[in-house]
Amino acid sequence: MHESTETERPRKRAATPFCEATAAQICSRVAAGESLRAICKPRDMPGAATVHRWAAVRPAFGTALRQAQAAAQAGRRDAYRAKAADRAWKRARPWARPDAYRAEVGEEICRRLASGRSLLEICGEDDMPVTDTVYEWLRGHDDFAAMYRQARRMQAEMLADLAWAIAREARDDEVKVARLQFDVLRWRAARLAPKAYREEDEPREGGLEVYLQDFTSGAILAGPIWSGPGA
């Protein structure tokens, strides 16, 4: 009989007491564009949950972390705008490939999406661009991106109505198939419009997970307890 040893079982990372130098390093790396998940992955760094607890109980660090995240977001936004401007400049050159976007095509794509059809299905038709072109248009044309988001929300409404119709009209001998169709449509609607169709047990946005921690030993005494919308 094989006996498992302590080294064979995965061990949770011990809670790390707050350290000013580590906190400053984390903020610097976040501001430079690294994700908190990547920074906290090495075993010699505090876990992401610990960093969030530090931010919750130490206002100065919480402010610094939010400022670093805002700086990183601004950097990504500036880089995207610079790339878009460079792309626009290149397209204006005589030797450049022109932008093939046409508003009437974008509107037709959104109409077909709103009717419940998938983007793969739409882009497989002869009169439509391929999916890579649509994604490029979404990155380069804010008006098309806004129409696309609205079409996806309308698609979610249509899918929810379709799921209800399937559930209401299913006969006794069709219950299993109808349940599968209903679940798939509900899942799809929840991904297209998560605020409207997210299940109560799915991860919530906003708020905080509150922990009670002994910062002398680093031990977690209680938690997490959700504090925020839906608590």
How is the chain split into domains, by residue range?
17-98, 104-197, 202-231
Mean pLDDT of 17-30: 93
Mean pLDDT of 60-86: 89
**At 155, which amino acid appears?**
Q
Mean pLDDT of 29-35: 93
Residue with more model confidence, 225 or 63: 63
* 58 pLDDT tier (thresholds 50, 70, 90): very high
Give 182-198 pLDDT, tens digit per residue: 676 666 666 666 654 45
Query: CATH second-level architecture of 17-98?
Result: Orthogonal Bundle (1.10)
Strand partners of residue 208? 227
As a whole number of angstroms, the distance between CA 116 and CA 95 comes to 39
Query: Where is mean pLDDT largest: 51-65, 126-140, 161-175?
Result: 51-65
Lowest mean pLDDT among 8-17, 158-167, 220-229: 220-229
What's domain 104-197's superfamily in CATH? Homeodomain-like (1.10.10.60)
As a whole number of angstroms, the distance between CA 115 and CA 153 comes to 11
Q: Please give the pLDDT value at position 224.
A: 47
Q: Please give the pLDDT value at position 83.
A: 81
- Vertex 16, ends 12 and 20: CA angle to 5°? 155
CB atoms within 10 A of CB 76: 11
**pLDDT greater than 90 at residue 65:** yes
DSSP characters for 60-111?
HHHHHHHHHHHHHHHHHHHHHHHHHHHHHHHHTSTTSPPP---HHHHHHHHH
Q: What is the helix (H) or strand (E) element at residue 37, kind and residue range?
A: helix 36-40
Q: Please give the pLDDT value at position 188.
A: 63
Give 103-148 pLDDT, tens digit per residue: 999 999 999 998 888 888 999 998 898 998 898 888 888 889 999 9
As a whole number of angstroms, the distance between CA 211 and CA 43 comes to 21
Tell me the whole-structure pTM to 2 decimals.
0.42
Q: Please give the pLDDT value at position 200.
A: 46
**pLDDT greater than 90 at residue 12:** no
